[in-house]
Amino acid sequence: MGEVIVITGLGDGMGRHTATMLAEMGHSIAGFDVDAKGVASLSEEMDKIGGEHLLMPLDISDRKGITKFRDAVLRKYGKVDTVLSNVGIGFFSPFEEADLEKALKCLEINVIGAAAIFQAFIPSMRDRKQGKLIAMSSLVGRIPFPFESIYTASKFAITGLMLSLRYEVEPFGLKVSIIEPAQVSTTFAAKIHVLPRDGSPYRERARRFIERDDELIKTAPTPVFAARRIVKVVTAKKPALFNQIDFNSSFLLWINNFLPTRIRDMILVNYMHIKV
């Protein structure tokens, strides 16, 4: 018997591939995306796959909308087994030049958005004494990257949020997991890579960073590869707390536990071609 799985931001990227793979396995998918066209085309794709789904266009920062979505899901299915908080937007800028209003929006979507979707479904899961809460964090949720200070802050925050709430909900039978992709070849990075203004003291290094990132993305795991790994976490009886997508990032996070920060920084700066 399939499970009921909520996925946020399933109109594109990893969320979309994860949703279709789970639907093909016979699970019921409920979810939303701010991109109405993405939702409409996914609905068509899901109709062809068959099975149950409840998809709608919705912005994760619309609190009333989240409550209505939650009510519609529980009305239709009577329960939710897993919530995968996948929505996330990037933010690329030298910290000194970051527009703080845009930064607030990034934190709102990446952190408070995840908090809102989990808050919405925890009560029904707690009543049933089962359920999984899974958040898409990032490698930068544990290893900070330059020119991504705001995004890094948002991913450290989501990792911290999950690690903290786990103490509260696990006694009620709920499981908490964090997924930490490194680079995945969705359109995610291309949406945010903008050079700092002419004359910016950070422009040259940021340019080299973007070039390096664009080069690395050519060999990065595809969203389909990533989705296969995410599906494994979603369907695991006892998912691990921390889950990476590819071996390189697992190795990097492991070695990060032992490397002196000075050495780690040296490797990162050289790897991203941003040595002064």
Ligand X SMILES: NC(=O)c1ccc[n+]([C@@H]2O[C@H](COP(=O)([O-])OP(=O)(O)OC[C@H]3O[C@@H](n4cnc5c(N)ncnc54)[C@H](O)[C@@H]3O)[C@@H](O)[C@H]2O)c1
Q: Under 8 Å CB-to-CB from 144, ≥6 apart: which residues? A: 152, 156
Among 23, 30, 73, 89, binds ligand X (CB under 6 A): 89
What span, in angstroms and rounded, lies between the C-alpha atoms of 109 and 111? 6
Token representation of residue 247: 């071996």
> Which residue's structure tokens are 């109109």?
11
Count, residues near ligand X per rule CB under 6 A: 27
Stretch that binds ligand X, among 43-51, 82-90, 91-99, 235-243 (CB under 6 A): 82-90
Q: What angle do CA 226, 242, 176 make, to 5 degrees?
A: 105
- Specify the amino acid at residue 153: A
Stretch that binds ligand X, among 44-52, 69-77, 120-128, 187-195 (CB under 6 A): 187-195
Looking at the chain, the number of H-run helices and the number of E-run strands are: 10, 7
Residue 73 or 87: the one with the smaller Cβ distance to ligand X is 87
Does 15 bind ligand X (CB under 6 A)? Our answer is yes
What span, in angstroms and rounded, lies between the C-alpha atoms of 40 and 216? 32
Among 1, 167, 171, 187, binds ligand X (CB under 6 A): 187
Kindly state the smallest distance separating residue 162's Cβ from ligand X, in Å. 13
Does 60 bind ligand X (CB under 6 A)? Our answer is yes
Positions 132 through 161 that interact with ligand X (CB under 6 A): 136, 138
Stretch that binds ligand X, among 10-18, 45-53, 74-82, 247-255 (CB under 6 A): 10-18
Contact assessment for residue 232 and residue 240, using Cβ atoms and an 8 Å cutoff: no
- Which residues bind to ligand X, rule: CB under 6 A? 9, 11-15, 33-35, 38, 59-61, 86-89, 109, 136, 138, 181, 183-184, 186-189
